[in-house]
Each structure stands twice: as C-alpha cells, then as structure tokens.
Structure 1
Amino acid sequence: MAPILLDEIKRRYCLSGRFQAVFVSKVAVAKPIATCRYWQRPLNPEKLINAGILRLSRSITCKQALNLYELTCQETDLLLPKIKVLGKHHLVSAFSLFTQYSEKHDLTACFTLTEFEHMFMPRSEIVYTYVIENDKEVTDFVSFYCLPMILPNNGIEYVIRTAYSLYNIAATVPLDQLLKAIMSIATKNNIDAFTVTDAMENSAACLEKLCFSKVDGLHFITFSTTGSVLG
C-alpha cells in the first residue's frame, strides 16, 4: 500500500509545479540516498508494560525496570532551570543557530524564518521546542513532536503518547545531558516513550548510554534528482 500512496503523493506534489523532493519510508521502495535507524526509550515503563508494549525478560522485575529508566540525576536537576520554551523573542537567534548547524550536514531541510516559526513554534500536545539562552543568544536547541495512539490490551484502552525527536543542537552542554533533561521535561508533559534517529550527532554510543533500544530502520529517498549515497 505504501508505494501506491507515495506515487499518489508525488503526483499531487508535481501538480503544484514542484518536481524534486525527499521522503522517508521504513521500506526501501526505491534506492535510498541515506539510511538510519529509529531508537526508542520508555519514559513511563509501568504504563508501557501494562499496555503490552514493553516486555521484560524473566530476570528483570517491574521495579528494576522503573529504576533502569529513571531520569532524575544531579546533572539533569542543574540543567533543567536553564531550558526555556521557545518563544517569539527567541526566533531570530534560534533560526540563526539552526541555519549554521544545518550547513554542517550533507542533507538538510532549508527554512525561511517564517517557515522555521511555523515548523517549530510550540503547539499544545503536538510540537515541543526548547532552547538554552546565554546573553540573549540561543546556544542550544531541541525540538520534538508527539503522536498519540490508542492501544487496547486486556479490555483496557491505553492512550500511548510517543515523542519523535526533530533536532538536537547541543553546543554548550553534552548531548546526552541535554537529551536526558528533555526527556525529563517530556515525562512531565505526559509523554510515555521517546524516539530518535541515529542521524546527525545522535550516535549509537550516546543512545545506548541513555537506555535507548534499536527499533525500525528509516530510508531517505529522493525523486527527480541524481546524486551519490550519503555516508
């Protein structure tokens, strides 16, 4: 079904007068120019266990799982007060930081300031964006969006809210500390699981340190373009 849906989206897109694009797919419906992998971490392990999503091995109890995925630590407690919700007064500085960061990568989205505002300004229970500011200059930037799903299990319907990381720009703090603080904030926003891709600076070593586990692969595919596979 996915290839048929993609063909229809491409057809409608071309009718708008635009003929090149990048899309992502879990299935390699065409030769991808880049491939990465989703990694996921429970934020509310007890709920995920009850919903049947998180299955524990026989050697791990529920209490041990809760301790394993605990996010509270001294570094996080010190960092949290510095993290602010993105506001309109941050936009120009955040856009400048994002643009400089994007230029370091071979494949990236290009936004105007207006598009950046539309994409990243927080929207209740949909888009979450946070910054760290120093002397009124944004130095660090994190954004994710939330997708809820209803999952029935044993006669109970569980609403599972999963965060999907968009960008993590850590310039003044270690990335693992920034991600841990952001996941703590996500937990306070009733998010049950956190998902990132091992793209850009999100290395496997960093994600394993934070108790993420590998899940699905993700392929980046272009149409009406030519180029080499990105490393």
Structure 2
Amino acid sequence: MSDPKDKKGEAPNSADAAGRKITPKVAEALLENNPALKNELAGMDKEKAAEALSKMDVAELLTGLAVGGKNQKDMASYKFWQTQPVPRFNEAAKDDSGPIKIIDPEKVSKTPDALVEGFEWTTLDLTNDDELQELWDLLTYHYVEDDNAMFRFRYSKSFLHWALMSPGWKKEWHVGVRATKSKKLVASICGVPTELRVRDQKIKVTEINFLCIHKKLRSKRLTPVLIKEITRRCYLSGIYQAIYTAGVVLPTPVSSCRYYHRPLDWLKLYEIGFSHLPYGSTKARQITKNHLPSTTSTTGLRLMESKDIDAVHDLLERYSRRFSLNQAFTREEIEHWLVHKDEEGKEQVVWSYVAEDPETHKINDFVSFYNLESTVIQHPKHDNVRAAYLYYYATETAFTEDTKALKAKLLQLINDALIMAKKAKFDVFNALTLHDNPLFLEQLKFGAGDGQLHFYLYNYRTAPIPGGVNEKNLPDEGKMGGVGIVML
C-alpha cells in the first residue's frame, strides 16, 4: 500500500545491519535509499563509504531507511545539518536529556539572511483569504507526493487554519518566500507553539511543518535558508527547541514509526492503485474481508461536545504521561484540536467521540481522527482519496495495568472509529505504530505501509525513544510507551 506520507520502497532489514559491519553492497543500498546521505558521501570509494556508515549507530534506532524521490520533503543536506544543534549520527546515546546549545538572545540577528537574487521574504497572514489561498495553491501543487506521482496531499483551507492557528499561534512563524517581480509565493515554512514532555522534562517548542518549495526552484538551495529563518524568528520569541518529522533520515531521529493503512473502500483504493489484489484472492473476497459492521459497540459512544473538554483534557493528560515523548495540552488546545465547530463554508477537519457512562456520566474513553485528502493525479474515474488519520485517543482501561484488558478495549474503540470514518465517507484509515497502536493494528486488518515517519528534536538531546516497531520493522507490544505525540 502506498500513501503520500509514505516514502516508497523496500526498507533494509536492520536486523541484518544492527551490530554488524556494513558491507560495500549494503552501503550502496543504504545510499540509494537516502539521497541526502548519498550526496554527502559522494566521491568516497565504496569501502570508505561502508566504513563511514558502519560508524553511524542508527540501525537499531531507525528500523529501516525510507526512500526519497519526488515525494521527498527537501530537508537540506547533511552538510547543513552539521552546522545545526542536532545530535550527530555517531554520538553515543546518553541517558540525560537537555538542550544541545544555549542560545544568547542578544546574539540573535534581528534581520533575516539575504535570499538569492529575485526572491524576498514575506510573512503570511492566514486571516487574509487571498494569502491563505496562496499557501493552499503552493501546497496543493508542490508539496509531498508519492514516487509514482499518483497521489499528492490536498490540505483544505480549513485544515490549514486548524493546523497553523492553534492557541498562541504567531503570525511571524508563518514564513514565505516570494518572487520579487511577480510577488508569487514560491516557498513556505511554518511553525506553531506547543509544550512537550520529553521523559518528564517539560519544554516549550515550535512544531515545524509545511516546508514546501516550488518544484521549479528546488535547485536554489532554499531549504537551509528557510530553516535558518524560522529558527531565527523562534529564537527572537524565546523558543529555542523544535519538533519536526520527515520520511527521510536526517541527523538524528529521536524515534521512528511505521505507517499502517486500513481500507474502508477497498475497491476504490484498488482502482486508483493504492491497494493491490493479493495473489490468489479476488476483488469480492477483498471487499468482504474489509467489511465493517454498521453499528458501533462501545457503550455510550457519542460525538465530543464543548461540555466534554475538561473531562477529555484530564483523561488525555493522564494517558499521555505514560509515553516518553508526549504533548502537554492546555484546556484551550483540547478545545482547538478536538472539538469540531460547525461553521458555514468550512470543511470538517477533526472527528472526536467520547464514551460516556450512562449512569455516572463519566467520560471513560475518547477517540479522534482527522481528515487529510490526497489528489489522485490524472485518473479517469477518481480525483481524490479521503484519508482519515488516527489522532489522539485515551481510555481509563490503560490505568488498570492489565494489557489484555487494554487490548480488548482498544480493539473495540478503534474498530468503532473505523465504523464512524466509513460512515463519514472516508476511503482509508491511516495510523502509525505510536501510542498503544501495536495492540490493535494487525487484528483490525491494518496493512503495513511502505513508509516510516522519523521524529526529530531540534536543539535537544535525549536517548532514542521506541517507535512501536521491532528490528523487523513490525508492530511490537514490547516497543510501546515511546511516542505519544501525533504530528500533522
């Protein structure tokens, strides 16, 4: 199965690489899977490249490299990252966590670096419909797509408002580059403020997203300049750490998760080339296999309302603290991220459900997913894929310390989320191996995706955090408890 967020291609089996000397042949395969690293080691003979890769203690951490290509987020070269406060590949893991570099606000430049001739900086005003439309156009036609140029993300304007105007958002963190003559928006990088807990250390960070460069300008080396500019703006606001994700391997992931997909409309996914027909099966069998009940089974399940904010906040905070890397939500953030407000002209972005005990009226469970469509490029029958992404969930059952009971509860709760997503006309339901997801992915007929999602912390060092997969890149209940944050 393929998804634009996936980076397609076979992931090397890190079980073969972990703790062993990398051969020139394996090195060659690794480099083919990572264009930025290949560029960095260009010119080295095969033996030396293999030796350099052997020193990079990433095999156990990464559980497979993801391939770049047309869909690769242009995340700058390794030479650039060597100048940044990020952990090096060959660093020994340390138990302590903390900033890599202490920033002196007095030494932060008050002006941005110059851009190449013909381009100028701009700050986007997303409350202005015209500027929101410009960002939408840039992302719709130039953001992440799959290697075969079959799918490309199509963020709705409502999604962009939701993702980029969360509580405490700062206009100056919505950075753009314009062509000086035409004033056309040709690049973007955006951030929103949030708080993370990294192994119980609470830190204020910027969540970085929507790094996008017009396809015709990918050779202009704009990526490092964009990253440096948003970093400068964050430093001026007193925020010295960031979190971001990529499907490619950069120095150095704090964790890596794998994508899984659950077909809701298998036939449509087959027709557009997202799902394949397994050998020996038939279309009718696949449709039957992926059939879902028409009614949910969790007692008291209903749509989340504003009156549930405090209860969900309390439940999610307690549930999230079970993970090494999690988001410390405020009440305002719960309202923003989880409660759908029915506004005229705005598409629904998030679906959240709570399970209320009919007698005590206590909220015992909650589950949510969000909508991120993809354009199907040049298909005679279908022009879009409606994908639901599993967002946050929590259950009181998690505090019983009974894994069997938690598994049973999540099988029921997430299956109900699949039913609700099917009713909302979604075609596929996507999830990563984070949270407690390894407890239910395979049993609920999620299929393994081709891609990894690597999590990165900027200017912060901590020991590697498990991403829910084992050395064979498969969901593993023994590798849970690491990633408790969902990145859009």
Please say if 1:33 is aligned against 2:254: yes
1:196-224 CA-to-partner distances (Å, cap 9, x unmatched) read: 11112111x52111111111111111011
Post-superposition CA distance 1:97-141 (Å, at most 9, x none): 011111111110111101111111125431111111122221111
1:218-229 superposed matches below 5 A: 218-229=453-464
**Is 1:127 equivalent to 2:350 in the alignment?**
yes
* 8 Å Cα contact 2:368-2:417 kept in structure 1: no
Q: Which amino acid letter does the alignment assign opposite residue 155 of structure 1? A: P
Greater share of residues in strand: 1
5 Å-filtered alignment, 1:37-48, equals 37-48=258-269
**SS of residue in 2 equivalent to 1:129:** strand
Contact 2:260-2:446 within 8 A present in 1 as well: yes
Q: Which has the higher contact order (CA 8 A, sep 6+)?
A: 1
When normalised by structure 1's length, the TM-score is: 0.90
Give the match's secondary structure for 1:176: helix
Count of residues in correspondence between the two structures: 227
Tell me the TM-score normalised to structure 2 length.
0.44
Alignment match of 2:297 (pick from 78, 97, 108):
78
Matched, 1:146 2:371: yes
Q: Which amino acid aligns with 1:208?
A: E
Alpha-carbon distance between aligned partners in 1 of 2:296 and 2:432, rounded to the nearest angstrom? 25
Change (3 A) 1:15 1:210: same
Q: Identity across aligned pairs (percent)?
A: 29
Closer/same/farther in 2, CA of residues 222 and 162 from structure 1, 3 Å limit: same
Query: Which residue number in structure 2 is paired with residue 164 of structure 1?
Result: 389
Q: Which runs of 5+ in 1 are unaligned?
A: none
The answer to whether the aligner puts 1:91 opposite 2:316 as a matched pair is no
Q: Which runs of 5+ in 2 are unaligned?
A: 1-73, 77-222, 342-346, 398-407, 467-488
Change (3 A) 1:156 1:95: same
Q: Superposition RMSD on alpha carbons, in Å?
A: 2.0
Deviation at 1:150, TM superposition (A): 1.7
Deviation at 1:8?
5.0
Q: Which amino acid aligns with 2:455?
A: F
1:29 alignment partner, SS class: coil
Instruction: Report the more deviating stretch, 109-118 or 13-22.
Output: 13-22
> Bigger shift: 1-10 or 194-203?
1-10
Aligned mate of 1:214, from 441, 448, 468? 448
What residue is the counterpart of 2:423 in the other structure? 188
Change beyond 3 A, Cα 1:164–1:29? same
Which has the larger Rg? 2
CA contact (8 A) 1:51 1:152 kept: no
> How much does 1:77 deviate?
4.0
Question: How has the CA–CA distance of structure 1 residues 67 and 208 changed in structure 2, closer, same or farther, with 3 Å as cutoff?
Answer: same
